[in-house]
């Protein structure tokens, strides 16, 4: 799993990538934020919070991702 900061249309999104697919962590758990750098600086429990959010993350549509 690779964490990425994306723009979907004009909305910033924290996501994870599996193969060529992206999944929205920002909507799954808004406390994670929308930026990988801020997530990494948010505290020692960031890995646990991401792991909890992964199961309910929605796949992002392929169009509009930058």
- Give the pLDDT score at 61: 87
Rounded mean pLDDT for each run of 10 residues along the chain, 66 residues in total: 93 94 95 95 94 96 79
Inter-residue contact 55 to 16 (CB < 8 Å):
no
- Give the pLDDT score at 1: 86
Q: Which residues contact 40 (CB under 8 A, 6 or more apart)?
A: 46
């Amino acid at each position: 799993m690779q964490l990425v900061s994306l723009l979907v249309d004009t909305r910033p999104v924290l996501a994870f990538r599996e193969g060529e697919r992206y999944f929205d962590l920002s909507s799954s758990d808004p406390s994670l934020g929308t930026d990988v750098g801020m997530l990494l600086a948010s505290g020692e429990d960031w890995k646990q919070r991401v792991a909890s959010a992964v199961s309910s993350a929605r796949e992002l549509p392929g169009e509009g991702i930058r």
